[in-house]
Amino acid sequence: MTLNVEIVDGRGGGAKARCTTRGELVINRFAYSTPYTATAAVINTAYNFVGPISAKQFVVTDILLYANKNVGAGDASVQVYEATSATETTVSKAVLDIEMLKQTSRDLTGLNLIISEGKWLNIKTDDNTIFATVMGYYVPV
C-alpha cells in the first residue's frame, strides 16, 4: 500500500517541499550552478556577471579569480559587488573586496551568498587584468 504524502511548511506559509526531475528531495541547494565569466581588462570599469530577473534573486556558490602577469607591483584591488546597473562602478553592497598579487588566484567555493533583488553583480579592479568566474543560480523571491 502506498501513501501520497506532502511535506508542508510548518510556519503556515503553505510552501511545499520539492523534488527535482531526478527524484531528489530539495533540502539544501535549489538548483545547479551556472558559470558566468568576466575579464576586468580596463581599470575602474564595471564588468557584469549577472543581471536581475523579475521576482528572483541570484545565489553565488563560487567565485574564481586570477590576476594575470599585467598586474603591477602595487597589487590589484578587486571588488565583486552589487550595483544598480551593468555598467555602474559605484558599489551598492560589497560581496568581495580583496587585493591580488600578480599571477595569483583566489578560489572561493561552497558559498551560499544571495544577491539583493533587482541588483546586478559586477566586478571592477584598479589594475588590469583580472579573469573572473562566478557560479550560481536564481531562486524565487
Number of domains comprising the chain: 1
What is the reported pTM?
Answer: 0.84
CATH of the domain at 40: 2.60.120
Q: Is the peptide bond before 21 cis (omega within 30 degrees of 0)?
A: no
Pairing of the two strands 113-114 and 120-125: unpaired
The pLDDT tens digits for 45-54 are 999 999 999 9
For 58-78, the pLDDT digits (tens) are: 999 999 999 999 999 889 999
The answer to whether position 99 is within a domain reads yes
* Whole-angstrom distance, CA of residue 95 vs CA of residue 105: 17
Q: What is the span of the domain harbouring residue 105?
A: 34-140
Q: Is residue 88 part of a domain?
A: yes
For residue 98, being part of any structural domain is answered with yes
Q: Report the distance separating Cα 106 and Cα 2, nearest Å.
A: 50
- Mean pLDDT estimate for the chain: 93
The answer as to whether 1 is a domain residue is: no
Query: Look-up: residue for cell 555598467?
Result: 87
pLDDT at 140: 86
Which DSSP state fits 117?
T
74-131 residue pLDDT tens: 899 999 999 999 999 999 999 999 999 999 999 999 999 999 999 999 999 999 999 9
Q: Is residue 94 included in any domain, yes or no?
A: yes
According to the model, what pLDDT value does residue 100 have? 97
Q: What residues are paired with 16 via a beta bridge?
A: 8
Residue 50 in any domain: the answer is yes
**Would residue 15 count as lying in a domain?**
no
**Residue at 13 is within a domain:** no
User: What is the predicted pLDDT for the residue at 36?
Assistant: 98
